[in-house]
Structure 1
């Protein structure tokens, strides 16, 4: 099983002087277009504007990793097109045995145009932190 839970705040820049509403609107339209292409079962994506700030939510639950690689690619793509965006995506993949992560969450951190994979310190290992 693979479980993904994540969020991102969509911003065009991480420098206030580089803020550009036209660019932000273009980025939001690109993301909305991409969301229309992501028509997968057992996945939920939501892009909402709250108080003038765009928030993206991602929830995924599949049986196998091979059908979810597009989720991490989507997260990375957002970082590329909107350098000011930031967020976190938690991934638990019980098939990640080769790297020894079958009992752990991995954290994908987005900031300043980059996405990196990190070790989780809050929910891992699943046993005993969440399950026994």
Structure 2
């Protein structure tokens, strides 16, 4: 099982505080990439109150396409002022199967951390197996 939930505020630079032609071009490229991902899950890029946002979420059986971490890395490269979080629960990851991982996008970099509020999954989210 691979569960993920995330959001990104898309910004050209960290000092970006208004709409620009360059930002519109970046968003156009991101829209093409998102359309090519053809995700059956939540994957939405829209403008709200003059700013572009990406929202995503899904629960496929295995970590596969769409590669949502790769999307975060791509946004970091093309729009380094962007920021956001991606929470992931991957029970097939041998090193982190009992943890919710959070990928943080900030200042052009994506870093990975343990989500302390939801980890360890057992007993925080699930009861221990008995038997």
TM-score (norm 1): 0.89
- Name the residue aligned to 2:72: 75
**Are the structure 2 counterparts of residues 111 and 94 from structure 1 closer, same or farther at C-alpha, using a change threshold of 3 Å?**
same
Which structure carries more helix by proportion?
Answer: 1
Q: 1:102: which partner in 2?
A: 97
Shift of 1:109: 0.2
Runs of 4+ in 1 over 2 A off after TM superposition: none
User: How far does residue 16 in structure 1 lie from its aligned partner after superposition?
Assistant: 4.3
Change in CA separation of 1:114 and 1:36 when aligned onto 2, cut-off 3 Å? same
- Compare 3-12 and 44-53 and name the one that shifted more: 44-53
Residue of structure 2 equivalent to 1:8: 8
The corresponding residue for 1:33 is 32
Aligned length, in residue pairs: 127
RMSD (Å), alpha carbons: 1.6
Please tell me whether residue 124 in structure 1 is matched to residue 82 in structure 2: no
Contact 1:91/1:105 (8 A) holds in 2: yes
CA deviation map 1:22-64 (0-9, x unaligned)? 11000110111011101133x2201121111111101121111
How much has 1:69 moved relative to structure 2?
Answer: 6.7
Structure 1 match to 2:21 = 22
Q: Deviation digits for residues 63-109 of structure 1, max 9, x if unmatched?
A: 112x1472111110011000110000001000111x1x111111100
- Distance in 1 separating the partners of 2:109 and 2:91: 26
Residues 1:69 and 1:117: Cα distance change in structure 2 (over 3 Å): farther
Structure 2 unaligned segments of length 5 or more: list them: none
Bigger Cα displacement from structure 2, 83-92 vs 44-53: 44-53
Deviation of 1:15 after TM superposition, in Å, equals 2.1
